[in-house]
Amino acid sequence: MTGNEIREIFLKYFERQGHVRVASSPLLPANDPTLLFANAGMNQFKDVFTGEEKRDYARAASSQKCLRAGGKHNDLDDVGDKTHHTFFEMLGNFSFGDYFKRDAIRYALDLLLDEYGMPLERLWFTVYKTDDEAAQLWEEAGVPPERILRFGEKDNFWQMGDTGPCGPCSEIHFYQGENPSDPEFNRAEYVNRDGSPTVEIWNLVFMQFERDKEGNLTPLPKPSVDTGAGLERVTAVLQGAENNYDTDLLRPIVDFVAQLSDQPYEPKTPQGFAMRVITDHARATAFAIADGI
């Protein structure tokens, strides 16, 4: 399954669930002075989530071009490892006051298991520490309770800013080790740990509160859903690649860098790390130039 096919399967799946396919916005945000670059799928829907803009659909799906090279979401210093990039594509499905947790969870599990064929025994699911509803819904959908983990605000609570829409989120993680039956590595302790064989692939955000300047939370009249899955990470998982740079989305660029430098690409050496950084920056620069930046 190629990266392009993985993207198309995602978008077509949500079209069948009544979502409107929306094209990616440019990397340079048009009407948001708070952003240097588009860095998430929800950016172009920000005013829809806050109620300032009305659209003729309540469900959307997109593959958003993202550039994270500064600001709140900055992956620049992490580039070169197996999962981080300055440029990447974020697959997302969105509900603007339409469906909420139950359907978001059902869609996510159905897509991963039935459309992509991911084995459940490799998946871990995290919820906010007090979000009993999400934990119960995952269990009702067929997830064993021991694979549902609770984390605090740092990992499982999302907010647009210091004030405004916010809510708990639920992340899906995938164990990339060779043997999913290996209890030494495919275990809860490795979820949300840097450098572990278990990587986050999808985040489901449940916008259900409004936070005021005093920090008080008020339930929103129409809760919404904002999800984001990194195409490169999902592709690495489905292609059995050790890291994102070994997928068909990035490996051709790595090989071209190696050819230009007249040096072999050796993934576990400083030279291999440098080639991954060059690959990432070249790709990000190409997309930025294409968008007029």
**pLDDT > 90 in the chain, percent:** 77
Place of tokens 């920056």: 281
Q: How confident is the model at residue 73 (pLDDT cuts 50, 70, 90)?
A: low
Q: Are 53 and 32 a contacting pair, CB within 8 Å?
A: no
From 190, 146, 188, 150, select the one nearest 171 (Cα to Cα). 150
What is the residue-averaged pLDDT of the chain?
A: 94
pLDDT at position 200, please? 97
C-alpha span between 94 and 86 (Å, rounded): 23
pLDDT at 259: 98
pLDDT in tens, 8-65: 999 999 999 999 999 999 999 887 887 889 999 999 998 898 888 999 999 999 999 9
pLDDT at 71: 57
**Residues constituting the chain:** 293
In terms of pTM, does the model score above 0.75? yes
pLDDT for position 210: 85
pLDDT digits (tens, 9 = 90+) for 83-123: 899 999 999 999 999 999 999 999 999 999 999 999 999 99
77-84 mean pLDDT: 85
CATH code, residues 3-244: 3.30.930.10
What single-letter amino acid sits at 62? S
Domain ranges of the chain: 3-244
